[in-house]
Amino acid sequence: MITVLRIGHRISRDKRITTHVALVARAFGADNILIDSIDKKIEETINSTCNRFGGKFKIETGIDKRKVIKEWNGTIVHLTMYGDKLEKSIKKINKEKNLLIVVGAEKVPPYIYESADLNISIGNQPHSEVAALAIFLDRFLEGKWINRKFNGKIQILPSDKGKKVKSKVK
């Protein structure tokens, strides 16, 4: 089980970035996302995507992040530009255990660095938690997202020109 924990979400400022984090979590193979602030709008957006495009991804907002971290039964990874090298760190993760991936917004409190089993950087340059999560999941799941089936009501078929959409929606 792979869970993404999005912390420091501010509804007005972060709504689109957090939506992208959630969509990336779903598309690249996580099972669910937990978001610290209550945000019904983002729940609706993600649930609507799941409803149309398939899969069993779950979203929950307004969770107590300290409690989630404290009670986590498995490995906790924190993605940060200050973290240790990706290739080296990823080998240390036991794939048999549940994995919690913590993804912060701008300021991350020190206890997150301390509580994580591994602080991992996707390069040490400033970029994006959306990209960091995608690259991390890509490496961790060895690129398997590319063949993942979601069996949604809407399926997009690969096409070099134009749009090929297979829809079970009447």
Could you list the residues that contact its own copies (CB under 8 A)?
A: 13-14, 16-17, 20, 23-24, 26-28, 49, 53, 81-87, 89, 113-114, 118-119, 121, 123-128, 130-131, 133-135, 138, 145-146, 148, 150, 155-165
* CB atoms inside a 10 Å sphere around CB 106: 9
Query: Is the distance from CB of 145 to CB of 57 less than 8 angstroms?
Result: no
- The least distance separating its own copies from the CB of residue 67, rounded to whole angstroms, comes to 22
Give the whole-angstrom CA distance, residue 36 versus residue 14: 12
64 vs 120, which CB is nearer to its own copies?
120
82 vs 94, which CB is nearer to its own copies?
82
Give the whole-angstrom CA distance, residue 78 versus residue 108: 10
- The least distance separating its own copies from the CB of residue 144, rounded to whole angstroms, comes to 11
- The least distance separating its own copies from the CB of residue 80, rounded to whole angstroms, comes to 8
28 vs 140, which CB is nearer to its own copies?
28
56 vs 161, which CB is nearer to its own copies?
161
Give the whole-angstrom CA distance, residue 116 versus residue 133: 16
The structure tokens 């950087």 sit at 121
- The least distance separating its own copies from the CB of residue 148, rounded to whole angstroms, comes to 8
Q: How far is CA 162 from CA 106, 124, 158, in A?
A: 38, 38, 10
Burial of 20 (0-12, 13-18, 19+ CB in 10 A): middle
44 vs 64, which CB is nearer to its own copies?
44
Query: Is the distance from CB of 21 to CB of 4 less than 8 angstroms?
Result: yes
- The least distance separating its own copies from the CB of residue 84, rounded to whole angstroms, comes to 4
